Amino acid sequence: MTPKSPKNNAILNGVLPVDKEEGESSFSAVRRVRRILGVKKAGHAGTLDPFATGLLVILLGQGTKLSSFLMGGRKRYLANLRLGCETDTLDLTGQVVRTRPVPALDPEEVREKTQRFLGEVEQAPPAFSAVKYEGRRAYELARQGVFMALKKRTVTIYRLDVLSLDLPDLTVVVECSGGTYIRSLAADLGEALGAGAHLRALRRLSSGSLNVEEAVPMGDLVRETAAAVLMRNVISLKDALPEVGEYCVDEEGARRIRNGYQPGLNALAEQGNLCEGRLKVVKGPELVAMAEVVERADKEGKQLRILRVFH
C-alpha cells in the first residue's frame, strides 16, 4: 500500500507509537516527528525522561485531545535498579547523596519484599519532576536547591516481577497505573531492601493497548523514507482505544453532538450499548466524541455525557 502524502490532514489526526532512543527528550522526539510529517500540532501521552527508552505515544492534530484518555491506561516498564547508591534525582543522572553497603540478599527474600508493593500505594513524586508547587515546576525549584515536600499520591502497582538479581543490580518488570513514578518506586524498593537505590535504566514496554513491539524505532529512521515509515504507522482516532466500546451515530447525530447535544437513555438503549464507563461516539470510520455513561440529573435513568468532541 502506497503511503499517503504527509499533507493529508485526515491521516495526520491520529496516534503514532514510537520507540524513543536514550538521550532524546520526549519533547525533541515530538518536534522531530512534527518536522518530518509537516504537522503544526503534535504532543505526547506520557513523558519519558531522556535517559529512558521505549514506547512514546505521539499525538497528531486532533489526536492531542486523546491525551488524558490514553494516559489513564496501565503502563508496563522494564527497570534496572542500582542498589547501595542514592541520588538526588532518584536516577543515574543525579548527584550521589548517599551510599550504603549492599547486604547479601537472597533472591527469594527480594521477591517476597517486592510483592509488598502490590496494590494501592502512596507515593511521593520526585523532587526533580514536573509536578507543580505553588505555580512552579518542582524540578525548577530543585535545581535552585529548594526541595519541597510534595504531596503524596495514590497509585496502583498491578505486577512487580523480579527478572534478575546480580548485585548490586536488580532488574524488574513493573505494571502500574498511570501517574506512577518508577524512580520513586525504585527508591522505595531500595529502602525496603535495606540498601537504598536509584534507577539505572528504564524502558517503557506498553501503555494501554499500545506495545513497544509495534512502535516505530526512532533510531532506524532514514531521511529519505522517514515520512513514509511514520505515515504507515499512524493509528486513526477511532482505532486508538480499541478496548473502549462504541456508540454509533449517523451524519445528523454526529452534527448534533458536535453542536452540544447530549444523547439520552432512549438513544443508548436502541443500540444496546447502555453500560457503565466510557464510550467512543463514532460515525463510520470517524471518531466524533469521547463520552461516558452517567446517571441523569433527575435520577430517571442514564445518559451519555460528552467529554471531548472531534472535528
Which residue pairs from 41-49 have beta carbons closer than 8 angstroms and sit at least 24 positions apart in sequence? 43/67, 45/15, 45/70, 45/71, 45/207, 46/70, 46/71, 46/75, 46/178, 46/204, 46/207, 47/130, 48/20, 48/202, 48/204, 49/91, 49/93, 49/202
CB atoms within 10 A of CB 142: 19
Let me know if 19 is a catalytic residue. Answer: no
Distance CA 131, CA 150 (A): 8
Q: Are 157 and 76 in contact (CB under 8 A)?
A: no
What is the C-alpha separation between 253 and 273, in angstroms, rounded?
A: 16
**Cell (9 digits) for 270:** 436502541
Residues in a beta bridge with 292: 278, 305
CA separation, residue 11 to residues 58, 80, 89, 119, 216 (Å): 14, 38, 39, 40, 17
Instruction: Cite the DSSP H helix spans in 130-243.
Output: 138-143, 182-192, 226-232
Which one of the listed residues 49, 91, 161, 188 is annotated catalytic?
Answer: 49
Residues catalogued as catalytic: 49
